[in-house]
Amino acid sequence: MSQWRRSEFTGNGIAAGVRPDGREPEEVQQWLHQRLVRQLDPAVISDSSGRKSREAIESAARALLSVDAPQIIGETKEEIIAAVVDEIAGYGPIDPLVRDPQISEIMVNAPDLVYFERDGRLYESPLQFRDAAHVMRVVERILAPLGRRIDEASPMVDARLPDGSRVNVIIPPLAPDSPILTIRKFRTDRYGLDDLITIGTLNDETVAFLRACITARINVLISGGTGTGKTTLLNALSACLGAGERIVTIEDPLELQLRQRHVVRLEARPPGIEGRGEVTQRDLFRNALRMRPDRIIVGEVRGGEAFDMMQAMNTGHEGSMSTLHANSPRDALARIENMVLVAGYDIPISAIREQIASAIHLVVQIARMPDGARRVTHITEIAGMEGPTVTTQDIYRYVITGSMGAGPVAGYFETTGVRPRFADRLQAFGFDLHTETFARGRRF
């Protein structure tokens, strides 16, 4: 069989041009995969995300099995065809997870260790890769259309898929046990504020308050941990923006789904293979200020753009919004302070804190509960400065009363008795204020 090139053999030594008589289904599957890759039009494979391409691959697979492996029939045949189509046209063994609309995140920790997130909870999947090389083949197939590469010289990649999903890959030697693949799926079923009320993230009153804040051009920072729903909440609140406003969004990567017509989307760019060509969010923010924005929305503030954002908020660009990774409103302010310091600004800490106190009006803290549900836990006003300290005061908070065993977390929203300093501004924009609106201890 010396006439066959090495690449034409499967892992079990079956040449792609040899009939797989009497072989095990797994060996037949590998043979079929090799044969299809050799024979199919490259255009079909490169465009394999479409339904017609999947149908073409499936049809070719059936024809090959019928001629060269007639002993494979019934359910076994269907399983082999489905696996090969997923291998060529999709994401290999995890393709069913990628196509499941209820799954929000997929994590491949090792060839035989795959997890996924559904409704805020993690589950282990029975799906497996054959080995680390199999994982790498799927990774390379994902990255190739994106113009990205991964190897020992560049062992980490963070990229956006054509559908908006985010993919992160890290390989040996940085991940010594196995290539690690994480996919955060892009949801097309955008949540609105009414949806967040239905699932308990907010309620009618807190939504009415936040809607008034957005309309009244209050600067809002959404804070929370990883996977708590910060971007979902920002998307929902963006529906309150006026149709006549020019909105500029700055993201890394693109995740927001604003429905207004007058939206300009800017996306940061990582450095190229040669290490050049990087465009940071801070670069984009500076450019955005020259684009006559009415509102600037930063998908997630991460670095030096924090200081530029606060300056913009203080110089006429009110009503801006952003998200931030932090576990409490107080932690959010400390993180912004650290971002400015790490960015290398030669500014006293007292001046940075004064910028924070004057620029940011409201912090909305969101968290994921033990049952997987997302809840806004605090709506906190930045009240100003007391000596060298930025002061905060909760306006609303979520009180957890317990859970029913493994069931949902029980709790309620309550007012703290604090009337925000901008309450009169909210009333001027139509928010219904009465004597009990901010009364202490009112539960709802």
Q: In degrees, to the nearest 5, what angle opens at C-alpha 204 toward C-alphas 202 and 209? A: 85
Q: Are 226 and 174 within one domain?
A: no
Q: What is the pLDDT of residue 8?
A: 34
Q: Which residue has the higher pLDDT, 426 or 70?
A: 426
pTM of the entire predicted model: 0.79
- Looking up residue 259, the CATH number of its domain turns out to be 3.40.50.300
Query: What is the residue range of 29's domain?
Result: 6-90
In whole angstroms, how far apart are CA 129 and each of 26, 83, 161? 12, 11, 21
Q: Stretch 70-92: mean pLDDT, rounded?
A: 81
Q: What is the pLDDT of residue 278?
A: 87
Q: Are 220 and 176 within one domain?
A: no
Question: Which are the contacts of 213, defined by CB distance < 8 A and separation ≥ 6?
Answer: 220, 361, 362, 422, 426
Q: Are 222 and 351 within one domain?
A: yes
444, part of any domain: no
437, part of any domain: no
User: Binning pLDDT at 50, 70 and 90, where does residue 27 land?
Assistant: confident
Q: What is the pLDDT of residue 340?
A: 92
Does position 280 have pLDDT exceeding 80, yes or no?
A: yes
Rounded CA-CA distance 356/341 in Å is 13
CB 360 within 8 A of CB 307: no
Q: Are 150 and 28 within one domain?
A: no
CB 169 within 8 A of CB 180: yes
Does position 6 have pLDDT exceeding 90, yes or no?
A: no
Does position 12 have pLDDT exceeding 50, yes or no?
A: no
User: Binning pLDDT at 50, 70 and 90, where does residue 404 land?
Assistant: low
Q: What is the pLDDT of residue 91?
A: 85
Q: Stretch 14-38: mean pLDDT, rounded?
A: 67
Q: Are 42 and 112 within one domain?
A: no
Where does a domain end: 184, 215, 237? 184
354, part of any domain: yes
Q: Are 318 and 354 within one domain?
A: yes
Does position 288 have pLDDT exceeding 80, yes or no?
A: yes
Question: Which are the contacts of 20, defined by CB distance < 8 A and separation ≥ 6?
Answer: 14, 27, 28, 31, 32, 68, 69
Q: Are 197 and 288 within one domain?
A: yes
Q: Are 154 and 197 within one domain?
A: no
Number of domains in the chain: 3
- Looking up residue 165, the CATH number of its domain turns out to be 3.30.450.370
Q: Are 74 and 101 within one domain?
A: no
Q: Are 211 and 176 within one domain?
A: no
Does position 21 have pLDDT exceeding 80, yes or no?
A: no
Does position 345 have pLDDT exceeding 80, yes or no?
A: yes
Does position 39 have pLDDT exceeding 50, yes or no?
A: yes
Rounded CA-CA distance 432/284 in Å is 38
For residue 277, count other CB atoms closer than 10 A to its CB: 10
Q: What is the pLDDT of residue 50?
A: 56
Q: Which residue has the higher pLDDT, 37 or 19?
A: 37
Q: Stretch 380-389: mean pLDDT, rounded?
A: 94
Give the pLDDT confidence of 41-56 residue by residue, as tens digits. 665 555 545 566 777 8
HSE of 79, CA atoms in CB hemisphere, 13 A = 8
Rounded percentage of the chain residues whose pLDDT exceeds 70: 90
Where does a domain end: 129, 149, 184? 184
Give the pLDDT confidence of 199-231 residue by residue, as tens digits. 999 999 999 999 999 999 999 999 999 889 999
Where does a domain end: 62, 90, 118? 90
442, part of any domain: no
Q: Are 128 and 46 within one domain?
A: no
